[in-house]
Amino acid sequence: MTGVEAGTGTGVASAFAEARADGRAALVGYLPAGFPDVDGGIEALRAMVDAGCDVIEVGLPYSDPVMDGPTIQAAAQQALEAGTRTTDVIRTVEKIAGLGVPTVVMTYWNPVERYGVERFAADLASAGGAGLITPDLTPDFAPAWIEAADAHDLDKIFLVSPSSTPERVAMTTAACRGFVYATAVMGVTGARTTTSDLAGPLVARTRATTDLPVGVGLGVGNGDQAAEVAGYADGVIVGSAFVRALLDHPDDRAAGLTALTALTEDLAEGVRRA
């Protein structure tokens, strides 16, 4: 089953449900909008969908990405220097959601506030977006977003981490819709050579508080790592490795897309192998 076929509903839950019915984890792929440029980013995301991504995260490039590692920072900076705007992010979502795959935006909160919370929710929903991942916004500081998301039937995806107390895990999962994002690496994002031994226990703690799927992001960069994470998580979230596949071919877009497709196929095989 391809990523396009998996996205039969607008919400992220549909992709996780279909993956579960297949006896596997979902593959969630991230790229920032506007990288390498807006149209090139749409082309790259389309290749990821065709090669097996079940859910797409479209990053909103931000000038102060304190939680991102150097790979994603480099891509976001390139997008910003090319003039990528929030409206370009919405257009990217519209193009990818139009393929039939659940598509969410991942963003720091400041750009949403600047754009206007209600306006952002309305435009995201109008574009066919499924919801929003807010890494630096916690539910207790998110009443405006929760109200707007609920009004527009959007998924609210908050993060839990190994340092989250049991009370905060429960509070966070209670506010989520779609899935829960478990970030199992302490510190900034980025591909790693080994997966984190904190991820399994974090997933178990999270599942004890919710029936929602739990997706894990911890620097997965190949099919073997994806298979390992898929052994205990409902979703495997990959970002830096996809970005790196394009950064490694700055002057040959076709070669970058070939590398991106090969990586996606390897990861998609990995989540199925588990």
Any idea which residues carry the catalytic annotation?
A: 57, 68
Helix (H, G, I), strand (E, B) or coil at 157: strand
CB-based contact 152:129 (threshold 8 Å): no
Q: Residues 6 or more apart from 257 whose CB is under 8 A from it?
A: 43, 44, 47
Nearest to 76 by CA among 28, 32, 115: 32
Distances from the Cα of 129 to the Cαs of 12, 182, 253, in angstroms? 10, 21, 27
Distances (CA, A) of 196 to 132, 175, 183, 199, 223: 25, 26, 10, 6, 16
Distance of alpha carbon 38 from alpha carbon 250, whole angstroms: 15
Residues ≥6 apart with Cβ < 8 Å to 113: none
Nearest to 28 by CA among 258, 213, 197: 213
Name the DSSP class of 140.
G
**Which of 73, 83, 78, 74 is CA-nearest to residue 108?**
73
